[in-house]
Chains A and B, each alone.
Chain A
Amino acid sequence: MKKWMIAAVLVGVGIVIAFPLFSMSYYTMVRTSTPEFCASCHEIKPAVVAWRSSTHTNNAAGVVVDCMDCHLPAPQDTFAFFFAKSYHGLKDVAVHFFVGEYDQEKAREAAYAAFDNDQCQKCHRNLLHMPNQRGAMLAHRSVVYARPGYEKKCVDCHYDLVHSERGLVMFRQTRQIPYQAKGLKQL
């Protein structure tokens, strides 16, 4: 057999083995990236239930913001995404079996600490021009163009937004009371 034929066969065999592997891991990633999958852990379930009643799910534009849209790096940052996802997946399983105790408030604080503004700004990009919300325009300028020493996080003012207890499903378009940021959390 000629050398090129051996190479071709090896490549072919490689493809035959690799394709299902890639396909399966891709499928696994997709399957494990849904809110339903997240809710399959009883520790996370309350967060998913609260999210379902929040305006990040219910709005006139029909936009639904999934868990990983906020809690994981963007999938196009492939390496960071895979790393963060695998790390959290393994950690959560380990903690579930070996530690047991899940402190929701602690987890909430950890999530706020981990959020990057980029994470919110994947979707919320037009923050500087809101003619009917001059106050927000002013505040957002101090975040987008923060002076040294005054860097802030989106979640410093916008917190308890999604995963908070509410009796009813909330729709953004039928909000009775206009949305307002809560002001700096640390004050």
Chain B
Amino acid sequence: MRRTLIFLSIGLLVVGLMAAPGLAQPNFAKVKEYRIERSVPPEAQACIECHRETTPGIFADWAKSRHANANITCLDCHLIQPGDQDIAQGHEKYYGRSDMPWGEAKYKMPIASIVTPKDCSRCHPDEATQYSKSKHANTIEIIWKLDPWLNKGMNSDNERKVGCLNCHGTEVKIDENGKIDPNTWPNAGVGRLNLDGSKGSCTSCHTRHRFSVGEARKPEACDQCHLGPDHPQIEIYEESKHGTIYHAYQDEYNFDAAGGTWTAGVDYRAPTCAACHMSGSGKEPTSHDVTQRLSWETQAPLTVRPQDFKPFPSGSDWKAERQKMKNICSSCHGDSWINDFYDGFDKAVTEYNEVYFKPAKAKLDELYEKGLLDKTKFFDERLEVEYYELWHHEGRRARMGAMMMAPDYAWWHGFYECKLRFANYMEEANHLIETGQKAYIAKDFPNATGDTTRPEKIFGKTQ
């Protein structure tokens, strides 16, 4: 009996000792400290003190950012002027609550949830200006001038919200309650139409609330949108030598070099997407205009020079832009490498245009002309889908694969698929022409309910 008691008390003691540190230190996540040690307006301090409790993720993210480093607080980006239409009304009601230490009315500031490139331009005017000229910022205009899904209303508004417009950007609207219309938000699309008239969103690539330059230099910043069957740039990059070297050596890359100092061969061994398309290198300055340095529009149905791209002419000279890209290449490559590479790319473009696209387009026009295909809708007849996928899917894969040196995408996912598609398409088309038989129209084409009115902000009022 005594031995049992002794064992029991020793056991209890051991368990107690083991549990003691646990009692003294509850298993709470450590909240990142923030001591006000530099001049911050009391209102901004109130934002921070409250939001590190209510949205600790956002706070911790910001606390690690260059913005926090430079004393740029919530208020610098989110503050708006009274009377602006996008005031966060829900936020206003927190002020005056007695149970919130920082909810006092004296800290009340009008705040907007959405921060736009125009807001960013207060401190980064040149970057915002470059971006505003890019195909990124103007992508809504481009897709509305080209795309049959939108213009013919072939998908639903929500399919657009969760699909297309997630990357391309919504037209942000305020609903009748004065709140942001949930059909248009949340969104960080590159071409978002903002309430202040500016276009796009800097946080597409420099995500909230870190706003990191290093992040945008990584291919992972681009791959949220540039992937998939219709424009697999990230897959192409990963297959290319550039991508394989990136994966093998990325732990040696210095992504956080100061703006203007990121150097090929020093800070990175092989380029990322940004390194070629945006970052400065050698004599070429950095630009946030992704349209520059391009000499072909490889995403267009018929490949054209950027200045001849009707939906959004670049206003530049393709020869000058190609020279810019060659200057970038020459940070690592010799002239013969660069010129002979471009020779292959130009031939791929010409072959795509002449051998695949133009005959397919001519055949489509002939079918419409003869009344064998119906023009009222698109995608509701099989040949329309085939034609669309020829340029929009494998046609792009072939051209982009050739451009960014991914052999599998240039051939198997590209020209090989083009060949099969083209042969089947022509067989069916010629069959219709020979027999005079009209193509089957899918009367039950699903969910073709989307709005076909073009955004007023770009195209003006349409009747």
Contact = CB atoms under 8 A, between A and B. Distances in A.
Interface stretch (A7-15, A101-109, A136-144): A136-144
A184 B118 contact: yes
A87 interface: no
B41 interface: yes
A20 interface: no
A156 B132 CA distance: 15
Interface string B412-436: 0000000000000000000000000
Chain A interface size band reads 20 to 34
Contact of A183 (B39, B72, B110, B118): B118
Contact of B119 (A156, A177, A178, A183): A183
A91 interface: no
Contact of A150 (B39, B109, B126): B126
A132 B40 CA distance: 7
B207 interface: no
A67 B70 CA distance: 37
A156 B70 CA distance: 24
B163 interface: no
Interface string B100-126: 000000000110000001111111111
Given A182-B122, A187-B118, A187-B197, A150 B41 contact: no
A28 B117 CA distance: 48
Interface stretch (B75-83, B242-250, B452-460): B75-83
B110 A135 contact: no
B70 A183 contact: no
Contact of B71 (A132, A139, A157): A132
Contacts of A41: none
A187 B132 contact: yes
A88 interface: no
Contact of A177 (B38, B109, B124): B109
Interface in A134-187: 134-136, 138-139, 142-143, 147, 150, 152, 156-157, 177-178, 180-184, 186-187
A19 B43 CA distance: 60
A62 interface: no
Nearest to A178: B41
Contacts of A182: 118, 122
Contacts of A186: 129, 132
B185 to A, nearest CB: 20
Interface in B33-58: 38-39, 41, 43
B302 interface: no
B288 to A, nearest CB: 12
Given A132-B39, A177-B81, A177-B110, A184 B125 contact: yes
Contacts of B117: 187
A150 B133 CA distance: 13
B198 interface: yes
Nearest to B118: A183
A184 B75 contact: no
Nearest to A143: B125
A135 B79 CA distance: 14
B367 interface: no
Nearest to A146: B126
Given A177-B110, A183-B118, A135 B125 contact: no
Contacts of A139: 122-125
Contact of A157 (B39, B70, B121, B132): B121
Contact of B125 (A131, A132, A152): A152
19 contacts: A131-B39, A134-B71, A134-B123, A135-B70, A135-B76, A135-B123, A139-B122, A142-B125, A147-B126, A178-B79, A183-B118, A183-B121, A183-B125, A184-B121, A184-B129, A187-B121, A187-B128, A187-B129, A187-B199
Interface of B: 38-39, 41, 43, 70-72, 75-76, 79, 81-82, 109-110, 117-126, 128-129, 132, 196-199, 285
Given A136-B122, A157-B121, A177-B81, 6 more contacts: A132-B71, A136-B123, A183-B121, A183-B122, A184-B121, A187-B198
